[in-house]
Structure 1
């Protein structure tokens, strides 16, 4: 039994932030019902990175495990009635529609709470429900750009640098889960439901608590230097540096110790809290020249002996082979009825008594329509009528079995994935980039 077993989440969200938030609640045991159009959510048909599947694309698989799918046409009266019948017995409702869409479909907060006054209604938007940007598209890269974070990395004169992950989508999703759980706790104490509003812009700023406060309180502007540096507000050296056979990440080492290891008297004589900021380019030049003389493994061993913070720089193939990743069970592997063996990131936390798990893989569009409508008390002939008139849809293949969760990694599956030619190691990526 998961920590949220017995709770029902109605998920009307699309893309990443909303689906990821709902999936996390499903990982904790909630019964998550993904209400999607009769043709399926658009992300089923838009493969991220070109990774198409047999029936389900990789990006959809990544964000929609532990859900059942109810395919309804919310523009039809019958479809709208069905979703409100579902809402009547739900605990959490999640949507991230563009401004005005929820109202047009009759699933805005006021409409939903008339059906279920105790509902925890999670509304996710790009910039907030009103204001000058309310109608702008809320997409991860656009919010990264507006957040100021792109000027925290890179070199002076270079273009602003985006993150290599959908950072804003992810922090928005976790903010939504945090808000939903807080609202559920309040409801347990008082019986009151409420609206939880989350927007990507606020989430993007909140995650930069340190950086923005350095600017607002300390008055220190973002200063990028002439050489690559990992973060404008952190002293040098801080970033990834080439070695004889790859790259090593080095974070804020003691300059006296580092200078000794690199044979640089100039570096050893520097004040790390002054020169570490004002002479970043000089420091990075010294470190860059010295680190190419040995392999990554040799530097990591030497740095560890002297207590300096360092790590290898991985590509995804290296991540899958890492012994700590395997030890932690950071990825989960399960069997999907149409996509075969699926390996995907697992759970970012552990619970000692109510552990998260994969009880089912991402559903086919409308896979559970008949099952869910029957649970709502719809008779078989009424379900048949809804399907016939197009107000609802179901997947016509055989009912897919629940996923079998390995609750960790399948080493054999990880080995196969790590050998894929597209998942280059860090060394091979370096060779390709310099060829």
Structure 2
């Protein structure tokens, strides 16, 4: 049995954060019914990296595989009646509109609760369902800017955002945690709950240790760039003659092992580098030495020597090289999904943790592909085209 088998999720999400949440729920076995506007569908279907497929961008496919798509006009009586029926038979409703949008469509939380007291309602938004900024819109880079994350990564005074939708994705994962907790409470009490997830909150959650440092010192910490968290040159990214290598020698025994691997045992007793405080103090000198030592190395070969010596290290890889690494293949993290209209399938990342349950074949839904099927289960007729 899959962990969420028997749980039905009414999915009113779009873009990245909401679909990331409902994808995880689907991967755990829930029946996710994705509600989309007829013809237009989720706006993310038209994302720029579309691979030439109408209404089927590859990023959309990556976070919506395994769901059932139902096309409903929620401004019509038939569409609202269908959503009513889905809510009454559902366990979880997830939405990521701005606060108040779902209520204006005729589905405020008190009405949803009246339809189904056991329903868990999860709302993902930029700034949450309460507070002075609740009505502001947000995208991932807006949340990075607002939270201090982009300024932490500033170089020469210029802020930099992280190059993936990290807050969108993390907001979705936080929503999953909240939903699972609410389901646990519902199982104990019989009453559903509400989960309020804000992208700004998620960003600050990611920066919890930095926030604590600022609160204690009064100084906003800067990002570490390519340096490790302990700010020593022995834990950083370096170019080699062939590729780049990430070193992770943070502790004394790791640093001493690093010098032995690189043939510089003499540095073990060098007072400038003999302790962690000394290595931080003499960072620039130490980094110059390491740059010279690695300039004739091969990253792939060095990775093997370092890890064999017990030193955390990795050759820098692109995402394709990482996905095809034998270790990732062995763990079964990547699954495949069929994309309608495409001549090949795509890689979809699994839940991100091992689950002792069978996986299912995945297929990305077209707009409204399952409308008749789902409405028949509710003893309703599909709206006429």
Length-normalised TM-score, structure 2: 0.89
Whole-angstrom CA distance in 2 between matches of 1:231 and 1:133: 34
Specify which of 342, 348, 365 is matched with residue 367 of structure 2: 365
State yes or no: 1:26 paired with 2:48: no
The aligned counterpart of 1:200 is: 199
Q: 1:24/1:37 Cα in 2 relative to 1: closer, same or farther (>3 Å)?
A: same
Q: Secondary structure at the match of 2:143?
A: helix
**1:281 equivalent in structure 2:** 284
Partner of 1:422: none
Deviations 1:97-125 (A, max 9, x none): 01321111122312211211111000111
**Per-residue deviation, 1:132:** 2.8
Confirm or deny that 1:314 pairs with 2:301. no
Structure 2 residue ranges without an equivalent (≥5): none
Asked if structure 2 preserves the Cα contact closer than 8 Å seen for 1:223 and 1:232, the reply is no
Do the aligned partners of 1:121 and 1:196 also contact (CA within 8 Å) in 2? Answer: yes
* Separation (CA, whole Å) in 2 of partners of 1:224 and 1:13: 33
5+ residue gaps, structure 1: 389-435
Distance 1:195 1:362 in 2: 29
1:231, CA displacement in angstroms?
A: 4.8
Give distance in 1, aligned partners of 2:118 and 2:354: 29
* Structure 1 residue corresponding to 2:377, chosen from 369, 375, 383: 375
Which stretch of structure 1 is more off in the superposition, 89-98 or 298-307? 298-307
In the alignment, which residue of structure 2 is the partner of 1:343?
A: 347
Is 1:246 paired with 2:248?
no
8 Å CA contact 1:17, 1:170 repeated in 2: yes
CA 1:15–1:361 in structure 2 vs 1: closer, same or farther (change >3 Å)?
Answer: same
Deviation at 1:24, TM superposition (A): 0.9
Which residue of structure 1 aligns with residue 167 of structure 2? 168
Per-residue deviation, 1:53: 2.9
Distance of aligned partners of 1:278 and 1:143 in 2 relative to their CA distance in 1, 3 Å threshold: farther
**Count of aligned positions:** 377
- Structure-2 residue corresponding to 1:429: none
Per the alignment, residue 400 of structure 1 pairs with none
Q: What per-residue deviation string (whole Å, max 9, x for no partner) do you get for residues 78-108 of structure 1?
A: 2112111111110000000013211111223
Counterpart position of 2:37? 37
Q: Deviations over 1:260-306 (max 9, x none)?
A: 52638568432443134344333333322321121113322332343
Q: Deviations over 1:17-50 (max 9, x none)?
A: 1111111111111111001101211111223x45
8 Å Cα contact 2:228-2:235 kept in structure 1 = yes
Residues 154, 229 of structure 1: 8 Å contact kept:
no
RMSD over aligned CA atoms reads: 2.4
- Alpha carbons of structure 1 residues 224 and 26: separation in structure 2 relative to 1, 3 Å: closer
Deviation of 1:208 after TM superposition, in Å, equals: 2.2
Q: Secondary structure at the match of 1:387?
A: coil
